[in-house]
């Protein structure tokens, strides 16, 4: 996946880039919706010594993107399901008549906990400096 980013500012050895989000449609104008795409701000390591105002080519490492996507989506999903199953079996075993509602609430609690775990994982990945997206050249 290759995209173009606009260097907004330089922060130490990192660059803050403005990148156009990829649209889900092909911009065919068939629907009349216009499919307006917004920009996304990313901060990545400035490996090519880009300056403010430069257009740079960005390349994504497919393996890292897939791995990070699995982490971001699967950990919360697993925690949600685990919370519902554990809550269901616990509240059912103690004879609570509202065990379904309480098991759902337990699932939501586990989901919230998973987001804190994701933050810890994100910080570890950031420290390892394994970038999923890198600058390849100045355009």
CB 17, CB 6: distance < 8 Å: yes
Between 100 and 22, the more confident residue is: 100
Residue 33 has a pLDDT of 60
Contact between 60 and 22 under an 8 Å Cβ cutoff? The reply is no
Mean pLDDT of the chain: 85
What confidence score (pLDDT) does residue 23 get? 59
Crossing angle of helices 62-93/99-128, nearest 10°? 150
Write out the chain in H/E/C secondary structure: CEEEEEEEEEECCEEEEEEECCCCCCCCCCCCCCCCCCEEEEEEECCCCCCCCCEEEEEECHHHHHHHHHHHHHHHHHHHHHHHHHHHHHHHHCCCCCHHHHHHHHHHHHHHHHHHHHHHHHHHHHHHCCCCEEEEEEC
Residues paired with residue 107 on neighbouring β-strands, in sequence order: none
Task: Average the pLDDT over 76-105 and give the result.
Answer: 95
Q: Given this model, what pLDDT does residue 122 score?
A: 86
Among 108, 107, 7, residue whose Cα is nearest residue 58: 7
Alpha-carbon distance of 58 to 13, in angstroms, equals: 16
Split at pLDDT 50, 70, 90, the class of 107 is very high
Each residue of 7-64: pLDDT tens digit? 888 888 888 888 877 656 655 666 656 666 678 888 888 888 888 888 888 888 888 8
Residue 43 is predicted with a pLDDT of: 84
Residue 139 banded pLDDT, cuts 50, 70, 90:
confident
């Amino acid at each position: 996946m290759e995209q173009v980013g606009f260097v907004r500012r330089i922060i130490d050895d990192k660059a803050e880039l403005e990148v156009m989000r990829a649209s889900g449609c092909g911009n065919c104008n068939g629907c009349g919706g216009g499919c307006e795409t917004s920009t996304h701000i990313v901060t990545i390591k400035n490996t090519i010594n880009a300056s403010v105002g430069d257009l740079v080519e960005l390349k994504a490492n497919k393996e890292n993107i897939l791995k990070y996507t699995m982490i971001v989506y699967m950990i919360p999903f697993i925690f949600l399901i685990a919370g519902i199953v554990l809550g269901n079996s616990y509240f059912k075993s103690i004879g609570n008549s509202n065990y379904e509602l309480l098991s759902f609430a337990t699932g939501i609690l586990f989901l919230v906990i998973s987001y804190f775990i994701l933050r810890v994982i994100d910080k570890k990945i950031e420290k390892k400096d394994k970038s999923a997206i890198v600058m390849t050249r100045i355009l």
